[in-house]
Structure 1
Amino acid sequence: MSSKPLIDARVRERIISDPEILLEDHDVMRALVAANEQNMGKNIVDLRGIAMERLEARLDRLEDTHRNVIAAAYENLAGTNQIHRAVLRLLDAPKFQDLLAVLGGEVADILRVDAMVLVLESDTPDTADPALKKLGEVLHPAPRGFVEDYITHGRATGARQVVLRQVRPEERGFYGPAADYIRSEACIRLDLGEKRLPGMLAMGCEDPHQFTPQQGTDLLTFFGGVFERTMRRWLS
């Protein structure tokens, strides 16, 4: 048997000095296992190799799950920070008109939506305060029962405060100039207090996948709770 090394001396020396580098390289280990199976012949079943392949597949799935969990955690943290920033900006508004202006401007930008509309039900929506009509793109007076009809479309939605969905062309009437581009929306029911008609905060987005029924609503529920309490203060 020849004593001459069959591989490059530097590679051989590296492997001898640090053999763990082979164990950590999946491609190299697969090649070594395959070479070993060829030497054993076709009439031998390597149960150990089969077990290793299954363990390797399970490890790959666990690594994928780990990466997905980390990505979801970062996304949730980013969403939480967005909501906190939006809430703080709302609380800074000194007047109701300022609140509406901030809602359709900075808050919409923070939440990355293309339109923000506050719907307030009234028994006489056509006689709203002229000063508020100047903020028509943000404030939308509506007749009694509008919020429930708009959110449910005649279907039962339970007691959900937040509804996420894609938007059909005929449903974009109150989004103003952005109506033609809205493809998804978040509708937040607002309880404005005892003996007051309900309201709704609608967030519209051009991206049809920005709001979908499969998404969680905890953060938007929190935002809606803060907003409706702020509204009660201005309406009292």
Structure 2
Amino acid sequence: MIDRMRQPGPAQMTDDTLPDDGLRDRILADPARLLDDPEIMRALVAADAEAKGANVVDLRGLAMERLQSRLDRLEDTHRSVIAAAYENLAGTNQIHRAVLRMMDATRFETFLQDLSGEVADMLRVDVVRLVLETASPEDDPAIARLSDVLSVAEPGFVVDYVTQGRNVPLRQVSLRAVEPQEAGPYGARAPDILSEACLKLDFGPGRLPGMLLLGASDAERFAPAQATDLMGFFAGVFERQMRRWLS
């Protein structure tokens, strides 16, 4: 009888195709490391598909690719949610620190000076301006001393500034990008301001309204799509502080 040489089948490997002993031992010792590596698993699946030939459709491989794609999208969403949560937490801490700093002031001038100093730094803005409407805007030495943060305007200025002459609802908080101006409520800093938060202030019955402007040189610092809850809270606290000073 003639001996027939056995040819290596699909499940057999010759000595030439076996991995070196060190690599093989490491794989056998900890196979989970291969399963946890998506790049290696994709390479193995691709190699298996090539071995089957072009006339074989690997439904399991297709299902794995779709599941991997869904997993990638879920991981992206998860990272976005986590980043948004950290950003919201950071914003909340900024507002809380700014509110506590405002409550520390024992004099009105100190209260206003803090707005353009530490409060502005805590809120990460370049300019803070308080605009008060008055029926008789006059030159006042006190206003002149605080001109870097306080200015007065005629009645109706707040509505006109926030709505820009358009027939739109007047909200307490408006966030938007702005074009650099040569003049305006920001004074000499007007050409640097590229976005702003406009906080409408209600000082109570019988008093004209006011407005707190937060100006930033970053065009993306304030935008209409951003949430306004924290800014609304800050405006409410500021209104109450101002009522105490104006009483």
Counterpart in the other structure of 2:237: 226
Q: Is the counterpart of residue 120 in structure 1 residue 132 in structure 2? A: yes
Q: CA deviation at 1:27?
A: 1.2
| 1:123-202 alignment, distance < 5 Å | 123-125=135-137, 127-170=138-181, 172-202=183-213
Distance in structure 2 (CA, Å) of the matches to 1:168 and 1:143: 23
2:163–2:170 CA contact under 8 A, matched in 1: no
Q: Is the counterpart of residue 47 in structure 1 residue 59 in structure 2? A: yes
1:128–1:141 CA contact under 8 A, matched in 2: no
Distance in structure 2 (CA, Å) of the matches to 1:192 and 1:49: 67
Q: Which runs of 5+ in 2 are unaligned?
A: 1-7, 9-13
Identity of matched residues, % = 60
TM-score (norm 1): 0.95
What is the number of equivalent residue pairs in this alignment?
235
Distance in structure 1 (CA, Å) of the matches to 2:120 and 2:106: 18
Q: CA deviation at 1:168?
A: 2.0
Letter in 2 for 1:202: L
Counterpart in the other structure of 1:61: 73
TM-score (norm 2): 0.91
Counterpart in the other structure of 1:30: 42
Range with bigger deviation, 187-196 or 156-165: 156-165
Distance in structure 2 (CA, Å) of the matches to 1:84 and 1:172: 32
Range with bigger deviation, 32-41 or 128-137: 128-137
Out of 78, 81, 88, the residue aligned to residue 90 of structure 2 is 78
Counterpart in the other structure of 1:203: 214
Report Cα offsets for 1:177-202 as digits up to 9, x if no partner: 21111111000000111110000000
What is the aligned-residue RMSD (CA, Å)?
Answer: 1.5
Counterpart in the other structure of 2:19: 7
Distance 1:128 1:226, change over 3 A: farther
Distance in structure 1 (CA, Å) of the matches to 2:89 and 2:55: 55
Distance in structure 1 (CA, Å) of the matches to 2:219 and 2:91: 18
Counterpart in the other structure of 2:122: 110
Distance in structure 1 (CA, Å) of the matches to 2:236 and 2:114: 17
Q: CA deviation at 1:128?
A: 4.9
1:97–1:132 CA contact under 8 A, matched in 2: no
In terms of fraction of residues, the more helix-rich structure is: 1
Report Cα offsets for 1:72-130 as digits up to 9, x if no partner: 111110110000000000000101111110111110011111100000000011x1532
1:121–1:142 CA contact under 8 A, matched in 2: yes
Distance in structure 1 (CA, Å) of the matches to 2:217 and 2:105: 27
Counterpart in the other structure of 1:18: 30
Q: Which runs of 5+ in 1 are unaligned?
A: none
